[in-house]
Amino acid sequence: MTSILTPPIVAATKTVPAFRQEDHVMVGSCNIRCEPGSLWISLGSAEMQNPPNPNSNPKCGKLATVTFDGGPPLNLTITDTCDDCGHNGYAVAVSGAAAKALGPKFMALDRPDITYSINS
């Protein structure tokens, strides 16, 4: 009997500009409530590709692994669509808590590039 092995699904890694949003209570397009201090990411509209009801987007609630400037990986929950992030819908926004976790260099820069992949 021959066995066929399926290779693992590897998420594409993207490098995009990111900006920091201030921490506040919000409910994004995924209908997930975000509290101050929570670790979340808002993906650009081109990446999210929302269906007519964005709450049903399969990316909502998944984790995105983010790195900045060679630092350790940080897992952020996908909670929102960033319609005005720019860069043809591929830039992202991160929570204030996530920005702090990415380090002081991230905090000091205006829209630094981060690398991320969506965990399946």
What global pTM score does this model have?
A: 0.87
pLDDT, one tens digit per residue, over 48-97 is 999 999 999 999 999 999 999 999 999 999 999 998 888 888 899 999 99
Domains and CATH numbers, the chain: 14-118 (2.40.40.10)
Burial 17-48 (b: 16+ CB within 10 A, else e): bbbbbebeebebbbebebeeebbbbbbbbebb
